[in-house]
Every structure is written in C-alpha cells, then in structure tokens.
Amino acid sequence: MTSNETAERLLDAAVDYVVGEFSGTRLTEVVSREVADVLKMADRLVIAEVVDAAEVKESIRIAIDVVGESPVFKEVAGGFADGIYDLSANESYQLGDLVDREHVAASIEKVLLMHTMQDRIFDRLLESPLVANVASSFVNRIVGEFAENTRKRAERIPGVKSLIKSGQEATERVRSSEGRLGQLAGKSAQFALRRTNNAVRDVLRSGSMHDAAMEIWDLQANEPIGNLREFLSKQDLHDLVLIAYELVVTARNKEYNQHVIDACVDIVFERYGSFSVTQLLRELRLSDEHVTHEIVRFLPPVVAALQRNGVLEREIRARLEPFFYSDAVGAILLGVADGKSLSAV
C-alpha cells in the first residue's frame, strides 16, 4: 500500500470519526464536553487582558454604522408594530398583568418630585415667543364661543332679538379690533401664566396629583391590553414606530454618540474588566448548563440538515485532506512503511 493510499484511508477514518461526533445523541455529549472545557479555560482569561477596550469601541461603531443601514430593521420594526397591535393575547391579559402597580407608583412619584425639571419646563414655555400667539388664539376662541352661546340663548327672550339685530353694526366694528385685543391678550397671557406657575407647582407637588394619576392607572390597568387600541389606530402605531426608527438611524453616527459609546464601554471595563470570562457569565446568570442547553437547542437541526445533503462530510473532508496529503504526513507514512520508528522519522 502506497503512502497516498494509506493517507486516503486515514482521511476516510478521520472524516467518519468527526461526522460521528456530530451525530445523534453523541452531539449532545460532545457539546457538553467542549463547553465545559472552554469555560474551564475561560476561567483563566481576564477580560481586560484579552480584550482591548479601544477595539470593542471600534467594533460597536462599525456594527452601528453598517447594521444600522440594513433595511431589515425598518421592515421588522413596522411588522412588529402591526403584529403586536393585532395580537390575540391583547384580549386575554390586562395592563396590570404586564406592569406592576408599585413600579408605576414609584415612577409617578419620582416625576412629581423632580421639581427642578418642572421649574425649567415652565420657564422654557414662558420664554417661547409663540406663547403669546397660542394664548391669543385660545382666548379669542373661548370668548367667541361664549359670546355666541350667550347670543343664542338671549334670542329666545322676547324683545332681545331685535336689540341684538340693531347692535349688529356696532358688533362688526368691535370685531375689527379683535386682532389687537387678541395680541394684548397674548401678552397678558404670559403674565397670567407666570402668576399661575406657583399654583400649578402646588398642584403637582400635592399628594392629590399622585393619587389622581394612580386612580387613572388603576382604571386602565384593570382593562384588557387590547383596549389601548382606543387611544391610537394600527396605522398610528405603525407610523410612530417607523418615526422612532428613523430618529435612531439618523442619530446613530452623530459625533456625540461616539462619546456615549466610549463612556459606556469604559464603564463596563471599569466594573468588569478584572473579571474572568466565566465570572462575567455568572454575573449574567448564565451557567454551564444554560450555555450547553442553548447550543444543543439549535445545533442538532442544523447539523442534521448538513448531513442529509452531504455538506457536513464534504466540508470536513476538505479541511482535513490537506493535512493527510501533506509532505510531513507523507514522510511519516513512508518511514513507517520502511520500518522506521516515528521518532526516527
């Protein structure tokens, strides 16, 4: 038997052995063994020593830049919104089943205690030049509707209708000055809003506001999640999700975000850089069993499909063949054939 023939038989045996390792229940045993060995080695690998923080930052930037342009996310974002809106489970569960009441209460309490934020919001609103215009329109609308309702009720009284008709011309002259009155109302509205700031703050900082908010939550929490459809249509939700997606996509490469990424990576390395890989997995609540279970969950169907179409054996052979037909192996086989010991070869 020539050395090439021997090499071919050894290659066949090696391929059969490796394929057998990936077959049936043997695959689970192999995966469990390999995962245990890898995690044992990982326990000696300190994260900061084997991973460079700068490289991690660059990888995240590349992922955000490249993956962020993929149309897949836009398509699935809209699809997720539609699917969640039509989800049949929306009728079987209440909002209170999804969100714990104590967390809602804590969130509302925190927002109401953020006095500095509230003050700044009030100040910003009052600084806006559009406040006067908005207030002017609001005042004109209220006064106009009040006057119209009063006129309609007054016309039902005998004799008053004729008086209103005779005063029509005077009314028209007054209407011509409504614009100026509205502008004046807008300016005074800013003053009025400033005067009412303290009153609004008192309401926000009183216990009644928290109680009222929780009462609203309790009413909604005891209804099916599907009732939230009363607040927005399917198209509304779809559009909002896509708008949020576009916002994230357009903001992803802004220079500021690079600083955010750097800060976040630095924080992770500061807190967990001295951990071994195994310790970090434990912090993530991932045991050896979890890792093994998830690999075994998805790997067997893939391997079985590769075996059925012959890809697995072909790829294993392609990777082992160069070794068995290499000059080094050939020299060993020739030496053995000539009766030499392996050490002599």
Give the highest mean pLDDT range of 90-94, 153-157, 201-205.
90-94
> Given a cut of 90, is residue 108 above it in pLDDT?
yes
Other Cβ atoms less than 10 A from the Cβ of 185: the count is 20
What residue type is assigned to position 175 of the chain? R
Best CA proximity match to 95, nearest among 217, 210, 263: 217
Predicted pLDDT of residue 337: 61
Other Cβ atoms less than 10 A from the Cβ of 136: the count is 21
Predicted pLDDT of residue 82: 96
State mean pLDDT over 57-78: 88
Q: How far is CA 182 from CA 150, 186, 187, 214, in A?
A: 20, 6, 9, 38
Structure tokens at 318: 């392609």
pLDDT classification of 113: cutoffs 50, 70, 90:
very high
pLDDT classification of 22: cutoffs 50, 70, 90:
confident
Contact 214, 104 (CB under 8 A): yes
**Alpha helices (H) in the chain, listed in sequence order:** 3-21, 24-42, 47-50, 53-67, 71-85, 95-98, 101-113, 115-127, 130-154, 160-166, 168-175, 178-204, 207-221, 234-251, 255-272, 277-283, 288-308, 311-324, 327-337
Tell me the pLDDT tens digit for each residue of 162-171. Answer: 544 544 544 4
Predicted pLDDT of residue 342: 47
State mean pLDDT over 316-326: 94
Q: Which residue has the higher pLDDT, 28 or 241?
A: 241
Q: How far is CA 74 from CA 55, 63, 156, 169, in A?
A: 28, 16, 61, 60
Predicted pLDDT of residue 87: 95
Give the rounded percent of residues in the chain with a pLDDT score beyond 90. 44
> Given a cut of 60, is residue 93 above it in pLDDT?
yes
Locate the domains of the chain by residue range. 3-89+244-337, 95-223
Q: What span, in angstroms and rounded, lies between the C-alpha atoms of 54 and 273?
A: 13
> Given a cut of 70, is residue 197 above it in pLDDT?
no
Tell me the pLDDT tens digit for each residue of 244-297. Answer: 999 988 888 788 889 999 999 999 999 999 999 999 999 999 988 898 889 888
pLDDT classification of 14: cutoffs 50, 70, 90:
very high
Predicted pLDDT of residue 189: 56
Q: Is 136 left (phi over 0), alpha (psi -120 to 50) or beta?
A: alpha
Radius of gyration over alpha carbons of the chain, in Å? 37
Contact 36, 342 (CB under 8 A): no
Q: Which long-range contacts (CB under 8 A, 24 or more apart) does 18-23 make?
A: 18/316, 18/320, 19/307, 19/312, 19/313, 19/316, 22/303, 22/307, 22/312, 23/303, 23/307
- Beta bridge mates, 46: 276
State mean pLDDT over 11-40: 89
Contact 263, 103 (CB under 8 A): no
Q: Which residue has the higher pLDDT, 143 or 81?
A: 81
Best CA proximity match to 112, nearest among 194, 216, 206: 206
pLDDT mean across residues, the chain: 82
> Given a cut of 60, is residue 344 above it in pLDDT?
no
Predicted pLDDT of residue 78: 93
> Given a cut of 90, is residue 151 above it in pLDDT?
no
